[in-house]
Structure 1
Amino acid sequence: MDLAGERQPSTLTTALEHELEEENRRLRKICQALMERVESAGMGSAPYGAFEHAVLLAEQVRERTETLHRTLDELAEANARLEEARREAEAANASKTRFLAAVSHDLLQPLNAARLFASALEEQQLGHEPGRLVHRIDRSLADVELLLGTLVDISRLDAGVLTPDIAPFSVAQLLDVLAEECRQMAGARGLALRYVASSAWVASDLALLARVIRNLMSNAVRYTESGRVLLGCRRRQIGGAACLEIVVGDTGPGIDAARQQDIFLEFRRGDADAKAQERGLGLGLAIVERIARLLDHPIRLVSRLGHGALFSVTVPLVESVPTPLETPDRQRLPGEEVLAGSLVWVLDNDRAILDGMRALLGGWGCESRLALEVSELEQSLDSAEAAPDTPAGPRVVMIDYHLADDEEDGLSLAQRLAASGRGIVPILITANHDAAIKRRCREQGITCLLKPVKPLRLRQALVHLLS
């Protein structure tokens, strides 16, 4: 039994070894088949190297995908911060615009009074030296007005809150007044003005277009040392549409072709050595370009060094549309003796402006009735109706738009007085350039003047309404 027991383990071992050898041969065949399959798939003669390379690429893809996700998360956070910064910037810009609008109104009140006093003094028969000093005061105040208006305009353009009020009007209503202003500015510098009047009618925003033409004329006078300035119009056909090209030219130094685009950028100015260049911010032509773009009025510049410059703005022509607001040009105005002895009411909650208006109107021969409150104005109007010696004719009432907080606004009051059937003709005076106010005035047939009031424009309006 001992011998049989010793032979049994040996037999079992041999059988096990045989089975293992068979399994090994079978696995080798499978491995060989797999290797042949891999090699036949184009993996080359190094299948295991290719496999390792694929694994490495997969790892790199995974890492780069994770990096991309982290970058996208960072970009999302950055975009959120940028969006918040944009909202804050827009809010700050809107706040700046509201602040400038409020400050400009408060600044325009004393400025308006100062210009009224200066204009009243210029109406007096002063000696040469006092007259020269008064003229310089008025010019300095005009410069302050221009700078303040420029800052407010550029702020409103940046904020996108400047809305044009497009309406038909006679171009003479605009250019006659501007020509007279330019004649005075040019005369002070020894320059001549050639003005070519026009009877055409155009469609635009009168106040914004006036800002464009006034800036162009101011530049023409400022940069011209000798010679003349031209203001005129010519009819053109553009794309089959009838247009009017309003031209402002000068005999100044001219503008080099390489700089003709740059001068429409902010804070770009002409020859710094030219006289009278200490005034201005270099924003005049930037405002011209941006307002013209807002109005869709093309701007053109033709200039050569040493041969002056010619700027023009092209405005759509329209058929003549007579309205109560049409202001006759200077040549058609009746004799200004109509102002002598006329009675004019003025309502403003600023005593200095009332005093300035009294002085200015008195220089024209007008008698003025002043009121700080609506109730005071209405009482004065009632007293005039009851008085037998009150001059006949329309009762012109100049009304400020911004009245006391507990009173109606000036435009509502003007509409109420005009509709009262008492022969009252209101003139609204305001520092608010809102297009809605101008549109409401036009629809109601009410003359609207902007602060600071231009004495020439006021005088023409009074002569027209009183006659």
Structure 2
Amino acid sequence: MLPPDLQALEPPYNSARERRMAEQNARLRRICASLIERVESAGLAGGAPYAAFEHSVLLAEQVRDRTEALRRTLEELSEANYRLEQARAEAEAANLSKTHFLAAVSHDLLQPLNAARLFTSALEDQVLPGDAPRQVGNIGRSLKDVESLLGTLIDISRLDAGLLQPDVTTFRADELLDVLAEEYRQMAHAGGLSFHYVPSSVVIKSDLTLLARVMRNFLSNALRYTNCGRLLLGCRLRQNGLEMIVGDSGPGIPEMQRDDIFLEFHRGDWTQDTEDRGLGLGLAIVDRIARMLGHPLKLVSRPGGGSMFSILVPYGEVTEYEDKSTTGRTLDDGLRGMRVWVLDDDNVILDGMRVLLEGWGCQTVLASSTATLDAMLATSSTKPADALLVDYHLSRGETDGLNVADLLRQRFPNLAVILITANHEAEIRRETRQRGFGYLLKPIKPLRLRMQLNAIYHG
């Protein structure tokens, strides 16, 4: 039924159906009016609801435009990041390739240096006329400089390439320190310095080769910066391990520089040695090796009062230690009459070894291949040797030095073996140790070779 105010305007209807439709239309009009009223009441303060609607539409369009612009920017950033990632990966690949290359060619780089060191060491053992000893000494020191620089670069490359892995064993501290003391005592005396060594027979657990690198860097650093006075090499028993110490009476290190000296390419500016050839990498290598081994470093220094570097090495189980010490033996025991076979594919190396060994009184048989050595052994005049010095990398097509040594040991069970190599891989060291062989890295340090031969000959 229509409301009374509309009934007066109600037109005549021809049927009940038309009336019902009119009533429904009236209800829809009332609903529409109510909805319009609610929209208007929810509009802006100014009472312009359609303006609010238009404003909302405009905002939505702006949001859509800005979202699209953001999407395009993100795509551009993603493309730029992809290009940067590609460039970074290419740079890392190039750097890794360089480090792998330098680490891999260390054998070829060290071969001629090894030969030169052998010849120089042989000359230093001889009585030379006039000014020749001084000149030979200068050559020897220059070769040691080259060896140190090249060894440092190779160590850095091996560390960067992840090729330098620890080979932890149990050994006595004096197996390492006795050799270092003999070597650096001579160098200290040559520089006018006194050298004090406090030995220790305590059993420790570490990587002998890497720990030797740390101690050599400590000693070389002490020599480099100490112009007068003395050097100290010794040990202290601590609760958590053996503290291996190198001290000097040099100028000391200012407190502000004590952290920086372990950074790469940082060199102390307090040295007066204008001929020093250090790269500032020695202590950086020490820090990285110490972290790798888990051995804490310590530095105590006072400006004008010298410095003391140390590394704390854990104690080893005595039950795991195999006694290979040379206690009671000295280099003065002599190697005269010792028979030594040398197998190396480099004829210059062989000649250098012959000069060096025969200068010590050894009887040598030298061969550049296993076939040549076999031919020599076939003669009745070749007697069994006391020791075999064999290079790990032999001629192309031949097996490695460890396998050659195994075959010779089958024929000569009492043959002592020393493997010589420029390869620092921990696996080679482990295999060498498991076979009970000696181990020397190139360039050979004649003092260390002589001490090992002395231990074999007088053992």
Pick aligned residue for 2:428 from 431, 437, 449: 437
**Structure 1: any 5+ residue segments left out of the alignment?**
1-10, 12-22
The alignment status of 1:131 with 2:133, answered yes or no, reads yes
Counterpart position of 2:322: 323
Q: Secondary structure of 2:74's partner?
A: helix
Deviation of the 1:196 alpha carbon: 0.9
- Alpha-carbon distance in structure 1 between the residues aligned to 2:85 and 2:409: 50
Tell me the amino acid that sits aligned with residue 372 of structure 2: E
Q: What is the TM-score normalised by the length of structure 1?
A: 0.86
Q: Secondary structure of 2:326's partner?
A: coil
Aligned-residue RMSD, C-alpha? 2.9
Pick aligned residue for 2:57 from 46, 55, 58: 55
Tell me the amino acid that sits aligned with residue 133 of structure 2: G
- Alpha-carbon distance in structure 1 between the residues aligned to 2:45 and 2:429: 82
Given that 1:195 and 1:232 are in contact with CA atoms closer than 8 Å, whether structure 2 keeps it comes out as: yes
Structure 1 residues 52 and 232: alpha-carbon distance in aligned structure 2, compared to 1, 3 A threshold: farther
Deviations 1:25-75 (A, max 9, x none): x97994674354464488775544433433233223222322332233223
Given that 1:417 and 1:426 are in contact with CA atoms closer than 8 Å, whether structure 2 keeps it comes out as: no
Deviation of the 1:338 alpha carbon: 4.6
Q: Secondary structure of 1:339's partner?
A: coil
Counterpart position of 1:379: 375
Deviation of the 1:359 alpha carbon: 0.9
The alignment status of 1:300 with 2:298, answered yes or no, reads yes
Pick aligned residue for 2:204 from 202, 205, 212: 202
- Alpha-carbon distance in structure 2 between the residues aligned to 1:351 and 1:454: 19
The alignment status of 1:243 with 2:245, answered yes or no, reads no
Counterpart position of 1:66: 68
Deviation of the 1:94 alpha carbon: 3.0
Pick aligned residue for 1:341 from 337, 341, 350: 337
Tell me the amino acid that sits aligned with residue 328 of structure 1: T
Structure 1 residues 137 and 51: alpha-carbon distance in aligned structure 2, compared to 1, 3 A threshold: same
Deviates further, 47-56 or 351-360: 47-56
Deviations 1:309-339 (A, max 9, x none): 1111111111234437x2425xx21664451
Q: Secondary structure of 1:278's partner?
A: coil
**Structure 2: any 5+ residue segments left out of the alignment?**
1-10, 12-24
| Aligned ranges 1:49-128 → 2 under 5 Å | 49-127=51-129
Counterpart position of 1:216: 218
Given that 1:347 and 1:370 are in contact with CA atoms closer than 8 Å, whether structure 2 keeps it comes out as: yes
Q: Secondary structure of 1:230's partner?
A: strand
Pick aligned residue for 1:232 from 226, 231, 234: 234
Given that 1:336 and 1:463 are in contact with CA atoms closer than 8 Å, whether structure 2 keeps it comes out as: no
Structure 1 residues 90 and 70: alpha-carbon distance in aligned structure 2, compared to 1, 3 A threshold: same
- Alpha-carbon distance in structure 1 between the residues aligned to 2:161 and 2:437: 29
Deviates further, 412-421 or 170-179: 412-421
| Aligned ranges 1:38-53 → 2 under 5 Å | 39-40=41-42, 45-53=47-55
Structure 1 residues 305 and 56: alpha-carbon distance in aligned structure 2, compared to 1, 3 A threshold: farther
Deviates further, 219-228 or 275-284: 275-284
Counterpart position of 1:363: 359
- Alpha-carbon distance in structure 2 between the residues aligned to 1:204 and 1:42: 82
Pick aligned residue for 2:406 from 394, 402, 415: 415
Deviation of the 1:103 alpha carbon: 3.5
Matched pairs, number: 438
Structure 1 residues 27 and 139: alpha-carbon distance in aligned structure 2, compared to 1, 3 A threshold: farther
The alignment status of 1:257 with 2:259, answered yes or no, reads no
Structure 1 residues 216 and 36: alpha-carbon distance in aligned structure 2, compared to 1, 3 A threshold: same
- Alpha-carbon distance in structure 1 between the residues aligned to 2:29 and 2:411: 115
Structure 1 residues 340 and 71: alpha-carbon distance in aligned structure 2, compared to 1, 3 A threshold: same
Q: Secondary structure of 2:356's partner?
A: helix
Deviation of the 1:220 alpha carbon: 0.5
Given that 1:327 and 1:461 are in contact with CA atoms closer than 8 Å, whether structure 2 keeps it comes out as: no
Q: Secondary structure of 2:314's partner?
A: strand
Deviates further, 102-111 or 191-200: 102-111
Structure 1 residues 277 and 304: alpha-carbon distance in aligned structure 2, compared to 1, 3 A threshold: farther
Pick aligned residue for 2:348 from 334, 341, 352: 352
Q: What is the TM-score normalised by the length of structure 2?
A: 0.88
Q: Secondary structure of 1:255's partner?
A: coil
Counterpart position of 1:169: 171
Deviates further, 135-144 or 61-70: 61-70
Given that 1:414 and 1:427 are in contact with CA atoms closer than 8 Å, whether structure 2 keeps it comes out as: no
Deviates further, 217-226 or 88-97: 88-97
Deviations 1:384-414 (A, max 9, x none): xx44x94x8x521100111110111112112
Given that 2:251 and 2:270 are in contact with CA atoms closer than 8 Å, whether structure 1 keeps it comes out as: no
Deviation of the 1:217 alpha carbon: 0.6
Pick aligned residue for 2:265 from 256, 263, 267: 267
Given that 2:335 and 2:454 are in contact with CA atoms closer than 8 Å, whether structure 1 keeps it comes out as: yes
Deviation of the 1:233 alpha carbon: 0.9
Tell me the amino acid that sits aligned with residue 279 of structure 2: L
- Alpha-carbon distance in structure 2 between the residues aligned to 1:161 and 1:39: 79
Deviation of the 1:171 alpha carbon: 1.2
- Alpha-carbon distance in structure 2 between the residues aligned to 1:49 and 1:164: 77
Structure 1 residues 250 and 334: alpha-carbon distance in aligned structure 2, compared to 1, 3 A threshold: closer
Tell me the amino acid that sits aligned with residue 203 of structure 1: K
Given that 1:343 and 1:396 are in contact with CA atoms closer than 8 Å, whether structure 2 keeps it comes out as: yes
The alignment status of 1:465 with 2:456, answered yes or no, reads yes
Given that 2:224 and 2:276 are in contact with CA atoms closer than 8 Å, whether structure 1 keeps it comes out as: no
- Alpha-carbon distance in structure 2 between the residues aligned to 1:59 and 1:167: 73
